[in-house]
Amino acid sequence: MSAGQRRLDIEEVNDVTVAKFVDKKILDEGNIQIIGNQLFGMVDTDGRKKIVLDFVNVEYLSSAALGKLITLDKKVKAAKGKLRLCNIRPDIYEVFAITRLNKLFDIKENQEKALEGM
């Protein structure tokens, strides 16, 4: 995978995988596909079970991107893992609330809180 294809910055914190989105706007169908593949690969290929998605850079998120997150959540749960989201801007959180995805996802204020008890 070339550097141009990387849509996530991934780091390991203890035994937790922290993935930060590179893009401010996650709207483009091609990028969403790449992000989905990277996220799913962390679970399916790498066998990672503890994942924190950090939205610190994200300003806009399309509904197609939300679909990828829902699929990722199912994969992590199927693998008996944990998925947490953090650093979601209030306007994006509103979309999670309206769609009731704030009930599906474990959303924390910041990365530090998201890592607690993983």
Q: How confident is the model at residue 5 (pLDDT cuts 50, 70, 90)?
A: confident
CA atoms within 13 A on the CB side of 7: 23
Other C-beta atoms lying within 10 Å of the C-beta of residue 50: 18
Are 71 and 47 contacting, i.e. CB atoms less than 8 angstroms apart?
Answer: no
| 57 belongs to a structural domain | yes
Outline where DSSP puts E strands in the chain.
8-13, 16-21, 25-26, 50-54, 60-61, 82-86, 106-108
Single pTM value for the model: 0.94
pLDDT at 6 over 90: no
pLDDT at 116 over 60: yes
Are 70 and 99 contacting, i.e. CB atoms less than 8 angstroms apart?
Answer: no
| 55 belongs to a structural domain | yes
pLDDT number for residue 1: 41
* Structural domain harbouring 62: 3-113
> Which CATH number is 51's domain given?
3.30.750.24
pLDDT number for residue 86: 98
| 118 belongs to a structural domain | no
Tokens 């893009």 belong to residue: 23
pLDDT number for residue 4: 52
pLDDT at 90 over 50: yes
Other C-beta atoms lying within 10 Å of the C-beta of residue 105: 18
Question: In the chain, how many domains are there?
Answer: 1
User: What is d(CA 24, CA 67) in angstroms, rounded to the nearest whole number?
Assistant: 18
Strand-pair category, 82-86 with 50-54: parallel
